[in-house]
Amino acid sequence: MSVTIIVVAFNSAAILAECLASIPADLPVVVVDNASTDASSAVAKAARADARVIRTPRNLGFGRGANAGFAVVETAFGLLLNADARLMPGVLEVLCAAAQRYPDAGLLAPEIFGDDGALQFGHALPHTPAHKRYLPMPAGDCCMDYVGGSAMFFRMSAFRALGGFDDAIFLYGEDDDICLRMAAAGHALVHVVGGRVVHAGGKSTSPSPRLEWCKAWHQGWSRMHLEAKHRGRAAAWGHLLREWPSLAAKSLLRRGDARHTKWSGRAAGMAAWARGQKATDIGLDPAESQQSA
């Protein structure tokens, strides 16, 4: 199989070994350690001695970290696998066979199941028409507006022709963006049945209330960036005017609600986009960015 596995890790020491152990021993593996403060690099080398570990001097974010991994890929295909996901036996053979059947496919994804056994069947993009948002589970391979997320199998020629993931995005939305660009470039996006990946979900990094707020900040910023990039700045400002007042009001008035962190973070990220701040200048934590400025 002409496939390289790329894993982006950030403080992922607790779950990285299980991910790497699921990868067949004869395949090249690249682990991008995004300036972790834990033992992610050591765990990667202990779990997979032949892995190429790229330790970045600072946290590049997910998409840019993935680009650093893809830059050293020499195989025809590259599978970007979340650190909290693991391959089931035979999934790569299924994906390679599908790539041969569908030469127009630039991006393919296997069936991705959560630890609870539920199929994680992609999601609707912000621009997906309403009549396509709630589709039945496929009985066979099918083309979709969005595939992947925790396991994205790229034809490297198509990935490189697009320039990889959007370097302006630090976290969240990079998968939506590359799906939109793949489709616009004429490549099919194929959901492939018969091969499985198990995705624990939300465990790539050790959780904390502050981290959850920072993630929500980037969700808000990235949504604004995608609106402006794919629908125009007028559409982005329209989205801001519709969504931001409600988020800001709820974050101010409903502090005891369990959703307060997400409301507050998203509102702050959207406001930062409106002020012209760049997510890659901010980094993971806006507070740390202000302290270092």
| Burial class of residue 8 in the structure, from the number of CB atoms within 10 Å of its CB (0-12 exposed, 13-18 middle, 19+ buried) | buried
Q: Which of 34, 39, 75, 83 is nearest to 55 (CA)?
A: 34
Q: If you average pLDDT over residues 284-289, what whole number do you get? A: 86
Q: If you average pLDDT over residues 181-196, what whole number do you get? A: 96
CATH number of 3-199: 3.90.550.10
**Residue 34 and residue 207: Cα distance in Å, rounded?**
16
Mean pLDDT of the chain: 92
Judged against a pLDDT cut of 70, whether residue 161 lies above it is answered with yes
Query: For the chain, where do the domains classified as CATH 3.90.550.10 start and end?
Result: 3-199
Identify whether the C-beta of residue 137 lies closer than 8 Å to the C-beta of residue 128: no
User: In the structure, what pLDDT confidence band is assigned to residue 287 with cuts at 50, 70 and 90?
Assistant: confident
**Residue 169 and residue 226: Cα distance in Å, rounded?**
9
Q: Whole-model pTM?
A: 0.92
Structure tokens at 182: 């793949």
**Angle between helix 13-21 and 40-47 (nearest 10):** 20
Of 4-13, 118-127, 220-229, 281-290, the one with minimum mean pLDDT is 118-127
**Residue 131 and residue 144: Cα distance in Å, rounded?**
13
Q: For 119, which DSSP code?
A: B
Report pLDDT for 101. 97
Dihedral of the CA atoms 278, 281, 286, 290 (nearest 10)?
Answer: -120
Judged against a pLDDT cut of 90, whether residue 200 lies above it is answered with no
Identify whether the C-beta of residue 40 lies closer than 8 Å to the C-beta of residue 15: no
Q: If you average pLDDT over residues 259-278, what whole number do you get? A: 97
Q: If you average pLDDT over residues 138-149, what whole number do you get? A: 87
Q: Which of 57, 77, 249 is nearest to 154 (CA)?
A: 77
b/e sequence 132-142, b meaning 16+ C-beta within 10 Å: eeeeeeeeebe
- Ramachandran area for residue 164 (φ above 0: left; ψ -120 to 50: alpha; else beta): left
**Which residues make Cβ contacts (< 8 Å) with residue 155, sequence separation at least 6?**
76, 77, 99, 105, 106, 107, 187
Judged against a pLDDT cut of 70, whether residue 265 lies above it is answered with yes
- Report which of residues 204 and 25 the model is more confident about: 25
- Report which of residues 117 and 136 the model is more confident about: 117
Structure tokens at 34: 């995004």
Q: Residue 58 is which amino acid?
A: R
Report pLDDT for 293. 45
Report pLDDT for 160. 98
Judged against a pLDDT cut of 80, whether residue 96 lies above it is answered with yes
Task: State phi, psi for 187 to the nearest 5 degrees.
Answer: -95, 140
Q: Which of 277, 251, 279 is nearest to 265 (CA)?
A: 251
**Residue 97 and residue 120: Cα distance in Å, rounded?**
22
Report pLDDT for 214. 96
Identify whether the C-beta of residue 200 lies closer than 8 Å to the C-beta of residue 248: no
**Residue 42 and residue 109: Cα distance in Å, rounded?**
29
